[in-house]
Structure 1
Amino acid sequence: MTPEEYLNVVGNRLHQDGCEPHWEDWAGIRVLVGRRSDFRWEWMASRLHLFVIAAAVPYVQSSTVDGFVSAAVTYAKRQVGELPRGVKNRMAVIVALVSDRVDRTAVENVGKVDLTKAFQATEPDLVARAVVVDTSTGAVGFLRERPARGALFHNHLQEKTRLYFPPPAEVAQR
């Protein structure tokens, strides 16, 4: 399965889950963007605005992930605009890079690093998660442990990450 084919599967899953996916061009890179909003009483009556932003790239390494996460967070903040965030409104961004050439440490690092800490000072109502998918090995890396920041939404983000980004071999067999 090519990275582009995998992203088409992700797009279908986003659509089926009500994320209204569409494609955009980010400086010559074709980017899949989906967005949804969920309200839960168990989130202290909060609404979570979830952005899912994914791209197929020629090569993934840790610095590529960091740069793409920053761009995706900036994009999501622009889209939300003046939405009153705070106690009742939160924003989450799941950012995914897909490639058939992935530095193994990039997959390992996204599983260890809580990206939310990087934005804590300027964006206290933001939860960020990264996903790296290696279509050549079938590896899917993302943060599985419950972090201190964003713990309230952890189960929801885990569920969505697993739904949108299954192992490539799982979808290639269908």
Structure 2
Amino acid sequence: MTETRQYVDDISSSLRAAGYAVELHAIGGWPTLTGYRADFRLRWMATKLHTFVCVRSVPVVTVDELSAFATASLEYTKAAKGAMRGAQSGVAAIAVLVGETVEPAAAEYARKELVRHFAAFAWPVTVDLSTGQRSSHQGRPAIGAIYTGWMRKQIAATLPAL
């Protein structure tokens, strides 16, 4: 458990270094480390993306837990900054579950699934402390593809390698 706390502390430092405002919130009833930043890019069709990184630790990451946390993280981001979604603005949640272990089905879910709503999406990520593996979406989504490079860059910048 000490290793898990240390890794989450490392994420907090990485978030700050990457320009995120860092706070603790309850998301879906769970204590969650959150990082927030807003960025505007012309190449994103002149939109502002409100990006949240939501991090929670659990003993074992399961598909059900990852799916529920990704959905709860997306709902949190929509409530926090999603009032004007679609009017040149969107919200994204990188929903990270850090576990002492990760079930293979949960890692597969993270590699294949995104949670999407109108002008909002959640990008599930698992971190397996026992193997050092990080799993997140592979491939190029059909909807929201212009943000793919940004999301991968944020995951790399904010989730330290093990």
TM, length-normalised to structure 2:
0.92
Q: Which secondary structure does the structure 2 equivalent of 1:161 belong to?
A: helix
In the alignment, structure 1 residue 165 sits paired with structure 2 residue 155: no
Letter in 2 for 1:159: K
Gaps of 5+ in 1: 117-122, 169-174
Q: Which secondary structure does the structure 2 equivalent of 1:149 belong to?
A: coil
Structure holding more strand per residue = 2
For the Cα contact (< 8 Å) 1:100–1:135, is it kept in 2? yes
**Structure 1: 4+ residue segments shifted above 6 A:** none
The equivalent residue for 1:100 is 100
- 1:55-93 per-residue CA deviation (whole Å, 9 max, x = no partner) reads 0112211010011111111111111253x2214101111
Q: Which secondary structure does the structure 2 equivalent of 1:130 belong to?
A: strand
Letter in 2 for 1:18: G
The equivalent residue for 1:120 is none
The equivalent residue for 2:41 is 40
Letter in 2 for 1:166: P
Task: Please give the root-mean-square deviation of Cα atoms over the aligned residues, in Å.
Answer: 1.6
Q: Which secondary structure does the structure 1 equivalent of 2:59 belong to?
A: coil
User: What is the CA–CA distance in structure 1 between the aligned matches of 2:108 and 2:156, rounded to whole Å?
Assistant: 17
Letter in 2 for 1:124: F
After TM superposition, the structure 1 = structure 2 runs for residues 134-153 of structure 1, keeping only pairs within 5 Å, are 134-153=128-147
Residue 34 of structure 1: how far off its partner (Å): 0.7
- 1:98-150 per-residue CA deviation (whole Å, 9 max, x = no partner) reads 0112212211221122332xxxxxx3201210100000110100002111111
The equivalent residue for 1:54 is 55
TM, length-normalised to structure 1:
0.86
Count, aligned residues: 161
User: What is the CA–CA distance in structure 1 between the aligned matches of 2:143 and 2:18, rounded to whole Å?
Assistant: 25
In the alignment, structure 1 residue 8 sits paired with structure 2 residue 9: yes
Which segment drifts farther, 73-82 or 37-46?
73-82
Q: Which secondary structure does the structure 2 equivalent of 1:66 belong to?
A: helix
How many percent identity over aligned positions? 30
- 1:146-168 per-residue CA deviation (whole Å, 9 max, x = no partner) reads 11111011100010011112332
